[in-house]
A and B are shown apart, each in its own frame.
Chain A
């Protein structure tokens, strides 16, 4: 092996140090948050021993229960709407010959990734307040609509990736074997697309669950989601209860992302 070695970043001096530093900067704050969730005392800064009291406290707090339930309902509805819309959008943008304007369409679908969230939030606030006046309706529907909109690109990306990798000949083969376009979709495209749709749904679900900015602007009184409730708590005297909620949140997200990973790997 007299061949000259290719340049490998990993062999450079200081690489490990930088990597470790980055790693700690990313995870140390999170570790601190998780550790203090188990604090027996009332402070987020002074350690007084191990206890699960803040988990019990959070779990029995009616406002937390209420906000958590609302978060889950909104996330489930928004992720469903977004997945359906994203599936249709992905099929429309991949099952076609490239044409002028297709790139623009990609950009349009992914718009929520690029437009600053605060702009969307203010815009929605203005539009929805008008609609509230006209219709008198001020329920959770606005939040679901807003969340669905910004979740679409997150659901769209994995679905589109899967569609692009799918062998088009399979759909032709099904059509050749007397399947009508609808049956081709139901029997071939959809089953093969399922891992992508599940991945898209889970991604959208987590993104919705996590949202603060748009929710804060769009929600009416008494419509706190878990993140906006936590934000509200931080404005007052804070207790490790917020840490406990955040820890559960983190655990939930990690589980979802792990599941996402395994679903994608199994079928790829």
Chain B
């Protein structure tokens, strides 16, 4: 009887075919999805009308602090939860209300969730068996998967007899074996130690490239997100704040939360003086005018926040031409970089990160009065 009840689950074609014919299409379209847990006074809105499109063959990351709804969104796509409202389209077909076993989507769990009563090989073969594949196909694909994650020698081991890193690989192989249309990864690296995590980051990225499967990766680790992703969706309190490439997200954060969550950022108050396509001139409280990146919806005259990355500012000797002026509160030497923690004349804290190149040769000490100059594209206007 196995396999008879699974008409929908046909993660079919060869990977290679997938890659060439479907580039650019959307794998997943999340449309206006809301998820409310509980009822009455105890109601919690985990997802607040989220819409996002995830492209074919993309390494897509949902990034945010815990409780932001990223895992809920993943579980909705997997089918472990059902949305209160909205649609989840997989290649144009609404799967929002299908049970998990009818969705050609597989998950790598944070805890790996390997079956403890089965061997490594049996774990990997499980999904194929449930799909009713023939014995020879199951054996063939299991062998391929074992090879892919370099676990051939441990195929007969019980899952309790292998290390955390190896369990991670088995979990990956098990989820990839049925050739899902989309692979969901729920903070799969969080249980590994730092070095192994770094290795696995590269390996995962490599694996995604080789298999051509769409990966949706959930993490709270901004560095992980920047390293691995093609695109990132930054989430907070049940909403997606910004979707973009790691470069976009880092260089052009649209909102204060995004700028603050990813990397270190200085915030400055300013007023928009003039706008043109994608950029603006803003006036700082000191009266100095500088150019700034501009998201949509700002008119001259608006009061705005600016984000400035510490490495985009440069510290100089006190000088009337400098954009900002202040006093060095603290100085942290980090080998490759030095971090200057400044107190600006307006009272705000401001951090400058400067590379310790041989030529820089400037020596500043705590308590010195200094100036800061900003590059032309250093400042970015934020939506609050």
A residues bordering B, Cβ < 8 Å?
Answer: 167, 169-170, 172-180, 183, 187-188, 191-192
A191 to B109, CA, bound (A): 21
Asked if B100 contacts A167 (CB within 8 A), the reply is no
Nearest CB of A to B63, in Å: 22
A177 to B111, CA, bound (A): 16
Asked if A177 contacts B78 (CB within 8 A), the reply is no
A188 to B5, CA, bound (A): 18
A167 to B114, CA, bound (A): 10
Q: Give B84-111 as 1s and 0s: 1 = Cβ < 8 Å from A's Cβ atoms.
A: 0000000000000001110001110101
Asked if A175 contacts B113 (CB within 8 A), the reply is no
A178 to B132, CA, bound (A): 10
The interface centre, meaning the residue of A170, A178, A188, A192 with most chain B CB atoms within 10 A of its CB, is: A178
Name the residue of chain A whose CB is nearest to the CB of B110. Answer: A169
| B side interface size, CB within 8 A | 27
B273 at the interface (CB under 8 A from A): no
**B131 surroundings in chain A (CB, below 8 A):** 178
Q: A177-B126, A177-B178, A180-B5 are in contact. Are A172 and B101 (CB under 8 A)?
A: no
Asked if A177 contacts B2 (CB within 8 A), the reply is no
Asked if B117 contacts A192 (CB within 8 A), the reply is yes
The interface centre, meaning the residue of B9, B109, B174 with most chain A CB atoms within 10 A of its CB, is: B109
| 19 extra A-B contacts, CB within 8 A, seeds A173-B115, A176-B101 | A167-B111, A169-B113, A170-B115, A172-B107, A172-B109, A172-B113, A173-B107, A173-B109, A174-B115, A174-B130, A176-B79, A176-B80, A176-B107, A177-B126, A178-B131, A178-B178, A179-B101, A179-B130, A183-B2
Nearest CB of B to A172, in Å: 6
Q: For the complex of A and B, list the 5 residue pairs with the smallest distance between their C-beta atoms, beginning with the closest.
A: A177-B127, A173-B113, A178-B130, A169-B113, A175-B100
A-B residue pairs in contact (CB < 8 Å), sample of 7: A172-B109, A173-B107, A174-B115, A174-B130, A175-B99, A178-B9, A179-B126
Asked if A176 contacts B106 (CB within 8 A), the reply is yes
Nearest CB of B to A113, in Å: 31
Contact of A176 among B78, B111, B114 (CB under 8 A): B78
